Amino acid sequence: MSEESNPMSSLWPLVQPGATDWLRELCGDGLTGFMPPAMPDAVWVLNAMYEHEQGSTEVSYDEYHKARLADGSTQPHVVGDLDLDAVSIATGGGLGRARHPGPGWRRLRWTELARRTGDPMVPDGLMPSYRCFPSAKKEGSWPLTMVPPTEGSLDRETWNRLIAVLTEYSAAGPDTRCLAYYNPLMLGATDFDNLHVRAGRLGDAELLYDQSEADFSPSNLWSDDRSWVLCTDYDLWATKVAGSPALIHALLNDSEIEAVRLPWAH
**Nearest partner of 100 among 157, 55, 153, judged by Cα:** 157
Element (H, E) at 82: strand 82-83
Peptide bond into 40 cis (omega under 30): yes
pLDDT digits (tens, 9 = 90+) for 76-132: 777 777 766 676 788 888 899 999 999 999 999 999 999 999 999 999 999 999 999
pLDDT confidence of residue 169:
97
- Taking the model in full, what pTM does it have? 0.91
- In the predicted model, residues of the chain with pLDDT beneath 70 are 1-6, 55-56, 83-85, 87, 212
pLDDT confidence of residue 79:
74
**Nearest partner of 189 among 207, 221, 214, judged by Cα:** 214
Rounded alpha-carbon distances, angstroms, from residue 74 to 38, 86, 142, 175? 47, 14, 20, 50
